[in-house]
Amino acid sequence: MEPFSAQQTGWIDDPDEALRRLATDDLHPLGWITSASNGTMLCRLGDPADELYAVHKPEVGERPLWDFPDGTLHRREVATFLVSDFLGWDLVPPTVLREGPEGSGSLQLFVPHDPAEHYFALVEDARWHVPLARLAMFDFLTNNADRKGGHVLRRRDTDHLYGIDNGLTFHVEEKIRTVVWDIAHIPFDVAWADDLRRLQGALEPGEALRAALCELLAPVEVDVLAGRAEVVAGLDAVPVIDPEDRHYPWPPL
């Protein structure tokens, strides 16, 4: 693999340009990320001088799961981006569906970050509590079943947090498993609830967002998402849970 530093990679500030390049630039596979539970490949994107990288998750690399339909995790990655993008929350890095080195899969712009600044480090600093609360609200909305601490990244030299690894989302049954339970004292912003109600309208039949999501998810999963938007809009903060409840991912990091 060519020299690579998670902290020194490039970034594209314009989301439309990022999506265009993810969809059209040449991909140069650098190798598999061996710590990932499903097949995940690091690729260089386009011109080497740009130092842009992307994460390719091909359908063929997905491990069968008893509770999620086979071959759908990469589509859920793209769907979580579409929901985040519609809300205007920018919580998921730009992500597209395209052919990659190992066939069809998701392709997500790599976030330059310090791997030591994961959730368990960030939550110790109160200035991150509000953005973490919004990420928690988003995970409740998308029914994220695997929000590990290492899936929360601070983009280098910014105050922006991203949630990555969103393949276990949108199940029709309650599946929430997350590490973000430490900030139940932080109230949700009322504007976030307004955004979720706007999302509900965009999930009605005939709406463009619903059509796009139904190409990635089962229609019933989109229906359940609309219902969850209403429920989560009514939450005041991260709920307080019983520590014995099985709402934590494993491993947590």
What does pLDDT average to over the chain?
92
Q: Examine the pLDDT at 8 and tell me if it is beyond 80.
A: no
Backbone angles phi, psi at 244, to 5 degrees: -80, -15
pLDDT tens track for 43-79? 999 988 888 999 999 998 888 888 898 999 999 999 9
Alpha carbon distance 176, 141 (integer Å): 9
Q: Does position 3 have pLDDT exceeding 60, yes or no?
A: no
Q: What is the pLDDT of residue 4?
A: 64
CA distance 96 to 23: 7
3-class DSSP assignment, residue 29:
strand
Q: Distance from first CA to last CA of the chain, Å, rounded?
A: 25
Locate 250 and state its tokens: 């494993």
Once rounded to an integer, what is the mean pLDDT over residues 194-199? 97
Q: Report the pLDDT value the prediction gives residue 202, as an integer from 0 to 100.
A: 97
pLDDT of residue 243: 66
Say how many C-beta atoms besides its own lie within 10 A of residue 116's C-beta: 7
Measured CA to CA, the distance from residue 239 to residue 200 in angstroms comes to 22
Pairing of strands 41-45, 53-58: antiparallel
Q: Which residues pair with 169 in a beta bridge?
A: none
> What are the E-state strand segments in 85-216?
95-100, 103-109, 152-154, 161-163
Is the pLDDT at 231 greater than 90? The verdict is yes
Please, are residues 15 and 85 in contact by the beta-carbon 8 Å criterion? Answer: yes
Model confidence at 167: pLDDT above 60: yes
| Gap between the Cα atoms of 75 and 80, Å rounded | 9
pLDDT of residue 184: 86
Rounded-to-integer distance, Cα 71 and Cα 49, Å: 34
Q: Kind of pairing, strands 27-32 and 95-100?
A: unpaired
Omega before 251 cis (within 30°)? yes
Phi then psi dihedrals of residue 106, to 5 deg: -90, 155
What's the pLDDT tens digit per position in 88-146? Answer: 999 999 999 999 888 999 999 999 999 999 999 999 999 999 999 999 999 999 999 99
Residue 92 is predicted with a pLDDT of 98
- What's the rounded Cα separation, in Å, for the pair 54 and 20? 13
Q: What is the pLDDT at residue 147?
A: 95
CB 82 within 8 A of CB 212: yes
CB 170 within 8 A of CB 224: yes
User: What's residue 24's pLDDT?
Assistant: 96
